[in-house]
């Protein structure tokens, strides 16, 4: 019975705040009206292959021009929101100041796009040097929150980043592909876990797609039947920030 008044005192001292701007809100993980209105939530209609949003419905099997020319190895990128000021602010709060609750904020928004056929969640891995300096992998935190909410198991070790990669910003498609070539490998015995499974690859922000493609190829070499990307935000247009 004493917990209720203590909880009320805690709410007064540390009230819930908007993940985007820090304004006081009614509940944890809830955006203020201004930030909520600034977010562009993504979903169908979209490209049948990469899930790039379309302005209008072109038909169930319609694909974008880029996919018609060069189909992706994965089965689409499902992003909760378009990359913008508020989406960027939330991603940076998780990644750098280490506000770990932002991982659950992202997961809550991503849940509506969780594939019904998902068998396994796998986060995009960080190189061990990056984990040592940051202390955590933000994609793994999101994957853990999604696993708890959906009941789909997550494996944080099956996919590994074995080569540190440079910042891909400013590199062309060939440069990005070269930078991530050989960067990802599977853990011993991974094929037993992946064989025939629909794997959902989890990340915070999807940009140029080079990292996602490299991860997808590694997972498929291990026997995954299908790889679907699920992320918090997706960069749309020509400004790739991978």
User: What pLDDT sits at residue 168?
Assistant: 60
pLDDT 10s digits, 115-139 = 999 999 999 999 888 888 888 999 9
240 within some domain? no
Question: 11 pLDDT band (50/70/90 cuts)?
Answer: very low
101 and 29 housed in the same domain: no
| Domain extent for 13 | 1-38
80/166: higher pLDDT: 80
Q: Are residues 50 and 165 in the same domain?
A: yes
pLDDT tens-digit profile of 199-234?
A: 999 999 998 888 999 999 999 999 999 999 999 999
Whole-number Å distance between alpha carbons of 184 and 70: 22
Do 87 and 17 lie in one domain? The reply is: no
Question: Cα angle at 211 between 204 and 214, to 5 degrees?
Answer: 135
- What are the percentages of helix, strand and coil residues in the chain, rounded to 5? 40, 15, 45
Same domain, 111 and 186: yes
pTM metric for this prediction: 0.88
In a domain, 68, yes or no: yes
Q: Same domain, yes or no, for 225 and 180?
A: yes
| Phi-psi label, residue 179: left if phi above 0, alpha if psi -120 to 50, beta otherwise | alpha
How many residues are there in the chain? 242
Could you report the per-residue pLDDT of 22-50, keeping only the tens digit for each? Answer: 999 989 999 999 999 999 999 999 999 99
Structural domains of the chain, count: 2
pLDDT-based confidence at residue 12 (cuts at 50, 70, 90): very low
């Amino acid at each position: 019975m004493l917990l209720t008044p203590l909880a009320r005192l805690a709410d007064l001292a540390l009230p819930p705040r908007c993940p985007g701007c820090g304004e006081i809100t009614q509940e944890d993980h809830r955006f203020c009206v201004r930030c909520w209105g600034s977010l562009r939530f993504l979903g169908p209609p979209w490209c049948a292959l990469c899930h790039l949003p379309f302005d209008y419905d072109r038909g169930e099997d319609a694909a974008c021009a880029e996919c018609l020319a060069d189909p992706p190895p994965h089965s689409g990128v499902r992003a909760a929101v378009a990359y913008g000021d508020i989406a960027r602010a939330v991603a940076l709060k998780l990644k750098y100041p280490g506000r770990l609750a932002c991982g659950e904020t992202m997961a809550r928004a991503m849940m509506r796009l969780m594939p019904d056929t998902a068998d396994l969640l796998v986060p995009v891995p960080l190189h061990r040097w990056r984990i040592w300096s940051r202390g955590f992998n933000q994609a793994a935190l999101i994957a853990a929150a999604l696993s708890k909410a959906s009941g789909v198991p997550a494996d944080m070790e099956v996919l590994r980043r074995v080569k540190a990669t440079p910042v891909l910003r400013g590199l062309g498609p060939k440069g990005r592909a070269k930078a991530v070539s050989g960067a990802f490998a599977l853990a011993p015995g991974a094929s037993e876990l992946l064989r025939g499974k629909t794997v959902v690859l989890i990340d915070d922000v999807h940009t140029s797609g080079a990292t996602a493609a490299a991860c997808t190829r590694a997972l498929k070499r291990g026997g995954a039947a299908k790889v679907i990307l699920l992320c918090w935000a997706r960069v749309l247009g020509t400004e790739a920030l991978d």
